[in-house]
Amino acid sequence: MSDMAQTVSFQRISKAYGNFLAVRNFDLEIKPGEFVAFLGPSGSGKTTLLNMAAGFVRPDAGRFLIGDEDVTDLPPRKRSIGMMFQSYALFPHLNVFDNVAYGLRVRKRPNAEIAQRVLNVLKMVALTGYEKRAISELSGGQQQRVALARAIVIEPSLLLMDEPLGALDRQLRKHVQLEIRRLHRELGGTTIYVTHDQEEALVMADRIGVMRAGKIEQIGTPTELYRTPANTFVAGFLGESNLLEGQVLRRSSDVASIGLPSLGIELTGRCVANLVVGDKAAALIRPELASLQQTGPLQGLITEVVYLGEIVACRVKLRSGQDFWCRRFASQDAPVEGAETSLQFEARDVLILPVDHERGD
Amino acid sequence: MATREYYFTSMTCGVEYATRFEILSKDNLKEIMPSAPLAGSRDRRVDRFWGSVLLLLPLAAFLLMVFVVPLAMLLKLSFGGAGGPFSAYSEIASSEVYRKVFLNTFTLAITVASCTVLLSYPTAYMLSQLSGWKRSVAFWCLFFPLWISVLVRTFSWIVILEKSGPVNRALLGMGLTSSPLSLLFNSFGVHVGMVHVLLPYALLPIFTSMKAVDRRLLLASDSLGASPLTTFGRIYFPLTLPGLSTGFVLVFLMALGFYITPAMLGAAQHMTISMLIDNFVNERLAWPLAAAASFSLLFVIVALVASANRLVNFVSAMAAR
């Protein structure tokens, strides 16, 4: 499959449903073999994008290319895609083998080749021995793997996945995420994955596009998005975040200071955004980068201590009344609820961001 | 959390309480309370049994009186022929004419059921694609004729199909035929009349099975490279086949016992079993013969329905290949 991997590009694609603009002027190029996740709230246009890539929905404007071929007007069956549906959409009247073999039979491959390729891919998804099972006899996780096998056995140029893990329980979901990542690395096909679950995107994707209102807010590697979100929307959507709002007081090339009137202090941090003095801005401090100390720039009262396994989360009520979450390892001394505390952090762990409250959902 | 709470409930109020209200499944219960007495679930099963009996009693009594008892009497009657217990059956089996009537009835039922199903399938598909008020209107149009008596509908067909009726006049006017066609009192007339009356019985089960097909299965088939025709043949048709076969069997069975339409629109030489039975009872007063004919028909029907299921499974399996 790796030699089949294709560049995939969305070129100025738009789609409206009535008055609702689901996708606006969307541009993105996906490199061969890349795993891109579209992450966003419902209504952000991510599923519409996937459906347009699959050919189920025709864009109003723009082009969609797989390799060098413009496939905008081609029906799904002529696109060489593998699609994994949220509901799996397995054929209920066919057994596991026949489900997986479907795409190959339709392509009129010889029987011997079909048998070999189906058994091969069933082995990859650890379903050897399940060939004759009816779909109704499988658990959710097994059905999910059959759906994956059915999509990849045809060696598609582009693999599309529409929240395929939504129906699985949490434990299984974590396991399957790693499974899909392993399979993707083994096979190396270009993949688009749609989800509203940040963890799925962070675990599996090479690049994540955070979507809102039919547009990409920011696209980058998980690390980039987590460390340097473009605005408060992206910061809030990926990972836990503490956002303290204020106004830009000083600005130099990659550092800015903001005043926080409600707390009566000034915070300085990294800033790559296009902010000038006087703009509204927020300081982002990730919970794991703040620590509880005797002294520090922020004072407050510990109101809640929550054990999350290896991590303890503490809610600190700041003087402004705002909650500030911080995390530390459970193996450290346990904080005490009701105690006065201060929050300490490094200036390089503070990121100054443009404020962007309006959420897409 | 919830299970633990109910664990205490069951400790205090008795396990019966929890099981009765389906708070805990049996497996669940065993897991948290390995030695839990399961007597409650047994009582409950007994209660449920008597509850069902009580609910079914009125209909069962009614059926017993108007169906089972007469049927038993009929069975007794069929063995009461003048020439010994099996004389009526042997007379029916040995007569060339009666055999022909049976054959005629079954071929008629099969062709009527086939025509009905063929007409219903595309119609049901169209209906399944409609939604909202359009579907309501379509269904209303479809079922409106059901409110009119079969007799009236059959008479209407005589008016429409007669030699100087609108159909023949239209055909003559268009120059498609030089003399009026005989559309009545033959096999054609019977088919038109019966298909018309029986259409809803095939349409409804087919429609229901079509509504149950997940549209995403068709998208999945498309994404896997199948042409619309392949998707129809390998996915849509096999999934709607149970509805189709239900419709077919329903219409077939009803067609077997049809009386008014074949009697009014058919030819005398195309006698059906129901006409024969009528003849036995009303003309010849041969009750044992009538009873034996009824039971022969019943027996063949039971045998056919039993084998129909197997046939459907077989066809489904073939379509999957």
| B47-70 pLDDT per residue, tens | 888 888 889 999 999 999 999 999
User: Percent of chain B, pLDDT > 70?
Assistant: 85
Taking CA atoms, what residue in B is nearest to A156? B224
The whole-number average pLDDT for the span A204-212 is: 93
Long-range contacts of A133-139 (CB under 8 A, 24+ apart): A133/A95, A133/A96, A134/A95, A135/A90, A135/A91, A135/A92, A135/A94, A135/A95, A135/A96, A135/A99, A136/A92, A138/A96
Chain B: residues touching A (Cβ < 8 Å): 214, 216-217, 219-227, 230, 234-235, 238-239, 316, 320
Query: Does residue B11 have a pLDDT over 50?
Result: no
Residues of B in contact with A74 (CB under 8 A): none
CB B292 within 8 A of CB B78: yes
Number of H helices, E strands in chain A: 8, 20
DSSP 8-state code for residue B14: -
> According to the model, what pLDDT value does residue B63 have?
92
CA atoms within 13 A on the CB side of B264: 19
More confident residue, B46 or A57: A57
- Across the interface, of A83, A92, A93, the residue whose CB is closest to B223 is A83
Cβ count within 10 A of residue B303? 10
With cut-offs at 50, 70 and 90, classify the pLDDT of residue A175: confident
Decide if A280 contacts A243 (C-beta within 8 A).
Answer: no
Q: Which one, of A156, A162, A143, A141, lies nearest residue A188 by Cα?
A: A156
Among the partner-chain residues B214, B223, B235, the one whose CB lies closest to the CB of A81 is: B223
Is the separation of the CB atoms in A124 and A47 below 8 Å? no
Which of B216, B219, B225 is opposite residue A103, by nearest beta carbon?
Answer: B225
When pLDDT is cut at 50, 70 and 90, the band that residue A95 belongs to is very high
Q: Provide the 8-state DSSP code for A2.
A: G
Residues B216-239 have pLDDT tens digits of 999 999 999 999 999 999 999 999
**Contacts of residue B216 in chain A, CB cutoff 8 Å?**
85, 87, 89
User: Number of A:B CB contacts under 8 A?
Assistant: 67
Q: What is the mean pLDDT of chain A?
A: 89
Six token digits for residue A253: 């090339």
B85-93 long-range Cβ contacts below 8 angstroms, 24+ apart:
B87/B288, B88/B286, B88/B288, B88/B289, B88/B291, B88/B292, B89/B292, B89/B296, B91/B289, B91/B292, B92/B289, B92/B292, B92/B293, B92/B296
The residue among A168, A155, A212 whose CA lies nearest residue A4 is A155
Cα A250 from Cα A266, distance rounded (Å) = 10
Q: What is the mean pLDDT of residues A255-267?
A: 88
- pLDDT score of A172: 81
Q: By three-state DSSP, how is residue A14 classified?
A: strand
Span B15-19, average pLDDT: 35
Non-local CB neighbours of B99 within 8 Å, separated by 6+ positions:
B93
Stated pTM of the model? 0.77
Cα–Cα distance for residue pair B313/A194, rounded to 1 Å? 38
What's the confidence (pLDDT) of residue A168?
Answer: 79
Indicate the pairing of strand A207-212 with strand A215-220: antiparallel
Question: If you average pLDDT over residues A326-345, what whole number do you get?
Answer: 85
Residue B38 has pLDDT above 70, yes or no: no
Does residue A221 sit in helix, strand or coil? Answer: coil
The reported pLDDT for the residue numbered B181 is 83
pLDDT of residue A357: 60
Averaged confidence pLDDT in chain B: 82
For position B90, what pLDDT does the model report? 87
For chain B, list the domains and their CATH numbers.
Answer: 4-39 (no CATH), 87-320 (1.10.3720.10)
Q: What is the pLDDT of residue B232?
A: 95
Least-confidence region, from A21-35, A57-71, B173-187, B188-202: B173-187
pLDDT top residue among B317 and A232:
A232
* A139 half-sphere exposure, CB direction, 13 A CA radius: 6
Residue B4 pLDDT: 37
Q: What ipTM, to 2 d.p.?
A: 0.82
Closest partner residue to B214 (CB to CB) among A56, A83, A89 is: A89
* Chain B residues touching residue A79 (CB < 8 angstroms): 223
Judged by DSSP in three states, B86 sits in coil
Which residues are paired to A39 by β-bridges? Answer: A195, A210
Span B74-123, pLDDT tens digits: 899 888 877 788 888 888 888 888 888 889 999 999 999 999 999 999 99
Asked if A210 and A218 touch (Cβ cutoff 8 Å), the reply is: yes
Evaluate if residue B8 carries a pLDDT over 80: no
Residues A200 and A168: their CA atoms lie apart, in Å, by 12
What is the per-residue pLDDT across B117-153, written as a single tens digit (0 to 9) for each?
999 999 999 999 998 899 899 888 888 877 888 888 8
Residue with tokens 């088939």: B221
Residue in B220, B227, B239 closest to A89 by CB: B220
Lowest mean pLDDT among B36-45, B74-83, B256-265: B36-45
**Cβ of A98 and B226 within 8 Å?**
no
Tell me, what's the pLDDT at A1?
43
Of A88-97, A247-256, A315-324, B84-93, where does the model show the most confidence? A88-97
Q: What is the pLDDT of residue A169?
A: 81
**Among residues A190, A197, A161, which one has the least CA distance to residue A88?**
A161
Distances (CA, A) of A270 to A225, A289, A291, A292: 15, 14, 19, 22
Cα-to-chain-centroid distance, residue B272: 20
DSSP state of A89: -
Q: How far apart are CA A121 and CA A153, in angstroms?
A: 6
CA–CA distance from B37 to each of A143, B3, B188, B241 (Å)?
A: 37, 17, 69, 47
* Separation between Cα atoms, residue B207 and residue B321, nearest integer Å: 25
pLDDT at residue number A359:
43
What pLDDT is attached to residue B41? 61
In this prediction, residue B12 carries a pLDDT of 33
Most confident option among A81-85, A176-180, A196-200:
A81-85
List CB contacts of A120: < 8 A, sequence separation 6 or more.
none
The pLDDT of residue A57 is 93
Query: What secondary structure letter does DSSP report for B130?
Result: -
CB contact under 8 A, B217 and A55: no
CB contacts of B234 in chain A (<8 Å) are 102, 106
Interface of A with B (CB under 8 A): 54-56, 75-83, 85, 87, 89-94, 98, 102-103, 106-107, 150, 154
Angle in degrees, CA A252, A256, A261, rounded to 5: 140
Q: What is the mean pLDDT of residues B299-309?
A: 83
Neighbours of A337 (CB within 10 A): 12
Buried/exposed code over B106-138 (b: 16+ C-beta within 10 A; e: otherwise):
bebbebbbebbbeebbebbeebbeeeeeeeeee
Query: Do the chains contact at A91 and B230, CB–CB below 8 Å?
Result: no
The amino acid that residue A272 corresponds to is V
pLDDT of residue B97: 87
Answer yes or no: do B238 and A54 touch at CB < 8 A.
no
